[in-house]
C-alpha cells in the first residue's frame, strides 16, 4: 500500500465556457492534512466539490488510495470520503432530528448497529446524548457544526473534505471545533483536505498549504516555510503579510 491517500492530477473544471480551475495538481499522504487557501472565486471550493463527487463535470485525474475514481462515484466511495460544509445552518435538514440526519447514511449503505453507532459518534464529537432527538434549530451553531462532523464520521471514512468548517462560527467556538478536528484525526487516522481563506486557521491544522489564485494553484509550501516566510509567489506573500500584520497588532 502506498502512502499516497489522494492524488489530483491536472484537474480542470469549467462552468459553461468559463474555466474556473485550470490544471491543479497536488498529492496528500495518508494521515496528512493539506490546506487550500485563496480568495473567493479562486476555485478552491470547486476543487473540493469535484473531489467529493458533487460535481461530475471535470477533466484530469483524481485518485483516492491509488485508484482513479470515476466521475460518477460508487456508493462505497461515499463511505470512504465525506465532506463537511461551511454553514451548519444550511447543511442540516431543518425538519429532521439529529437521529434521522445521522442514520441516513447508515441506512443508505445498509450498515447495521445504528443505535450504538449514533451514540458513539455523538460521544466522539462531544455532543450530549440528549441532543440525539433534537432538531437542528434547537442547537447552537457550534453544536450544529459538530452534528455535521458527526454525520461525516459515522460511516467511518478515511478522508474528510472540509470546506471552511469554522468560518461561520465565533472564534471561541472555532477553537473548540479545531481542537475536535485535531483529536479526531489522531484517533481515527484520518486524512483531511481543508479549504479556508484564513491563513491562521489553515496553519493551525495543516502541514502543507496550497495557495490558489484565478484557478491556478500558484504555490505549495510547508507550514514551517510559510511561517518563516520562505515563499516565492507574490500572492502567497501578500496573504502572509496580511495575516502577520493582524497578529502583530495583537502582539504590540
Partner 1 sequence: MLVDIKNLRIAFTSRGKRFEAVRGISLSLGREKLGIVGESGSGKSLTARALMKLLPKTAEVTADTLRYDDVDVLKASERQMRKIRGGRVGFVLQDPKYSLNPVKTIGSQVDEAWREHKRGSAREAREATLDLLDQVMIRDPKKVYASYPHEVSGGMGQRAMIAMALAPNPELLIADEPTSALDATVQAEILRLINDLVEKRGMGLILISHDLPLVSHFCDRVCVMYSGQIMEEMAASDLMNAQHPYTRGLLNCMPSLMHPRDRLPVLTREDSWQEETAR
Identify which of residues 8 and 209 has a Cβ nearer to partner 1 in the complex.
Answer: 209
- Using CB under 8 A, which of the segments 20-28, 89-97, 103-111, 198-206 binds partner 1? 198-206
Q: Is 246 a binder of partner 1 (CB under 8 A)?
A: yes
Q: Is 204 a binder of partner 1 (CB under 8 A)?
A: yes
Q: Which of 110, 176, 116 is nearest to 143 (CA)?
A: 176
- CA Rg, the chain, in Å? 18
Q: Which residue has the cell 447543511?
A: 91
Q: Is 187 a binder of partner 1 (CB under 8 A)?
A: no
> Does residue 86 contact residue 163 with C-beta atoms inside 8 Å?
yes
Alpha-helical segments (H) within the chain:
44-52, 75-80, 98-108, 114-124, 141-153, 171-188, 199-205, 223-228, 234-251
Size of the site for partner 1 (CB under 8 A): 36
Shortest separation between residue 2's beta carbon and partner 1, angstroms: 29
Q: How far is CA 207 from CA 71, 143, 165, 215, 226, in A?
A: 29, 27, 17, 22, 10
Q: Is 143 a binder of partner 1 (CB under 8 A)?
A: no
Identify which of residues 18 and 171 has a Cβ nearer to partner 1 in the complex.
Answer: 171
> Does residue 38 contact residue 232 with C-beta atoms inside 8 Å?
no
- Give the C-alpha separation, 103 to 144, whole Å: 16
> Does residue 210 contact residue 220 with C-beta atoms inside 8 Å?
yes
Q: Is 141 a binder of partner 1 (CB under 8 A)?
A: yes
Q: Which of 43, 71, 41 is nearest to 55 (CA)?
A: 71
Identify which of residues 155 and 223 has a Cβ nearer to partner 1 in the complex.
Answer: 223
Binding to partner 1 (CB under 8 A) within 157-186 occurs at 170-176, 178-179, 182
Q: Is 127 a binder of partner 1 (CB under 8 A)?
A: no
Identify which of residues 42 and 191 has a Cβ nearer to partner 1 in the complex.
Answer: 42
Identify which of residues 23 and 207 has a Cβ nearer to partner 1 in the complex.
Answer: 207
Q: Is 18 a binder of partner 1 (CB under 8 A)?
A: no
**Residue ranges that bind partner 1, judged by CB under 8 A:** 39-40, 141, 170-176, 178-179, 182, 197-201, 203-204, 223, 226-227, 238-240, 242-247, 249-252
Amino acid at each position: 500500500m502506498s502512502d499516497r491517500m489522494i492524488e489530483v492530477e491536472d484537474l480542470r473544471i469549467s462552468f459553461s465556457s468559463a474555466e474556473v480551475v485550470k490544471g491543479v495538481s497536488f498529492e496528500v499522504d495518508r494521515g496528512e492534512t493539506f490546506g487550500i487557501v485563496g480568495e473567493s472565486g479562486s476555485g478552491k471550493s470547486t476543487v473540493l466539490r469535484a473531489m467529493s463527487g458533487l460535481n461530475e463535470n471535470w477533466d484530469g485525474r483524481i485518485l483516492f488510495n491509488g485508484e482513479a475514481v470515476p466521475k460518477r462515484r460508487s456508493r462505497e466511495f461515499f463511505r470512504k470520503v465525506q465532506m463537511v460544509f461551511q454553514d451548519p445552518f444550511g447543511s442540516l435538514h431543518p425538519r429532521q432530528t439529529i437521529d434521522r440526519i445521522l442514520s441516513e447514511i447508515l441506512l443508505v449503505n445498509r450498515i447495521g448497529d445504528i443505535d450504538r453507532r449514533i451514540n458513539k459518534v455523538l460521544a466522539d464529537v462531544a455532543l450530549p446524548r440528549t441532543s440525539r432527538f433534537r432538531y437542528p434549530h434547537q442547537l447552537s451553531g457550534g453544536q450544529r457544526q459538530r452534528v455535521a462532523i458527526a454525520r461525516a464520521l459515522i460511516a467511518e471514512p478515511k478522508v474528510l473534505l472540509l470546506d471552511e468548517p469554522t468560518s461561520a462560527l465565533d472564534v471561541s467556538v472555532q477553537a473548540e471545533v479545531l481542537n475536535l478536528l485535531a483529536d479526531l484525526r489522531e484517533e481515527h487516522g484520518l486524512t483531511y483536505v481543508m479549504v479556508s481563506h484564513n491563513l491562521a486557521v489553515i496553519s493551525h491544522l495543516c502541514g502543507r498549504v496550497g495557495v490558489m489564485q484565478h484557478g491556478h494553484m500558484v504555490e505549495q509550501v510547508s507550514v514551517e516555510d510559510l511561517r518563516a516566510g520562505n515563499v516565492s509567489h507574490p500572492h502567497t506573500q501578500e496573504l502572509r503579510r496580511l495575516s502577520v500584520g493582524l497578529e502583530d497588532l495583537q502582539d504590540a
